[in-house]
Amino acid sequence: MKTVIIVQARMTSTRLPGKVLKPVLGKPLLSYQIERLRNVKLADELVIATTTNETDQPLIDLCTSLNVPYFRGSEDDVLARYYGAAMAYRADTVVRLTSDCPVIDPGVVDKIINYYNVHLPLYNYVSNTLKRSFPRGMDTEVFSVNVLKEIFFEATAPADREHVTPFIYKNPGRYKLANVLCEYDESRHRWTVDTMEDYELIKRIIEALYPQNPNYILDDILKLFEKNPDWFLINSLVEQKHIL
């Protein structure tokens, strides 16, 4: 059973174009996320799934420089991009992540993968997003390549093609779903990058923690907020884009 982390990434974000390569301490945000995901113990491979657009060549250049596998596919049909990446890298289990989560905790990713593995074949889909308790930015979804193949061939709604997994959790009668909760409800925190306010917050987190401990974890970020409670206000008014 080969477990492959597939991270979707593109340069043409609508609210903050080029966000995944915005620099902090001289390194692009995506390089921090790649570095952290390489510490996930239960994954066999990490793949960046980007598009065939020329605008995404800088992402390919970064992957090449970091020796990270990549796949190029459709910009709008992200489901097809995931399916193509999973087929190309012979995945049995797919771990879906997005590239706007540069401070993601590899331990959280392992926790979701482990829950999926331990309960096989009970659940078709395991995530920490069906009921939010983790900070946004720790989002992890795990499902089999067989499920991915089914939804690739059956899902037709634009939102299902763009966001990959809604077809799964909109059909709980067909797919068995499981949600992993954080020890405490920390869902008020937003540690993902979609706006300049998000970027400013992530920049402060990385600058405060990374130089002393590149392998900081979720608890370290929470302790940082205990010392700097005003940081929560930096992006507290940012509204998450909704899936139509």
Residue matched to tokens 């608890």: 219
d(CA 220, CA 216): 6
Domains of the chain with CATH codes: 3-233 (3.90.550.10)
Q: What is the largest CA-CA distance in the chain?
A: 49
Pairing state of beta strands 93-98 and 141-144?
antiparallel
DSSP characters over 183-212: SS--TT-B---SSHHHHHHHHHHHHHHTTT
DSSP structural state of residue 21: G
C-alpha distances (whole Å) from 178 to each of 45, 86, 117, 123, 141 are: 24, 22, 12, 6, 10
Q: Could you read off the pLDDT tens digit of each residue along the chain, which spans 244 residues? A: 999 999 999 999 888 989 999 999 999 999 999 999 999 999 999 999 999 999 999 999 999 999 999 999 999 999 999 999 999 999 999 999 999 999 999 999 999 999 999 999 999 999 999 999 999 999 999 999 999 999 999 999 999 999 999 999 999 999 999 999 999 999 999 999 999 999 999 999 999 999 999 999 999 999 999 999 999 999 998 877 665 5
Contacts of 227 (CB under 8 A, 6+ apart): none
Q: Which pLDDT score, from 0 to 100, does residue 14 have? A: 81
Amino acid at the residue 80: A
C-alpha distances (whole Å) from 120 to each of 93, 123, 188, 203 are: 11, 6, 31, 38
pTM for this model (two decimals)? 0.96
For residue 133, how many other CB atoms are within 10 A of its CB? 16
Smallest CA-to-CA distance from 55 within 26, 80, 82, 75 is with: 75
∠ CA(138), CA(92), CA(59), 5° rounding?
55
d(CA 96, CA 159): 16
Q: Which pLDDT score, from 0 to 100, does residue 136 have? A: 96
Q: Which pLDDT score, from 0 to 100, does residue 242 have? A: 61
d(CA 111, CA 181): 10
Q: Which pLDDT score, from 0 to 100, does residue 13 have? A: 85
For residue 136, give both structure tokens.
Answer: 């946004």
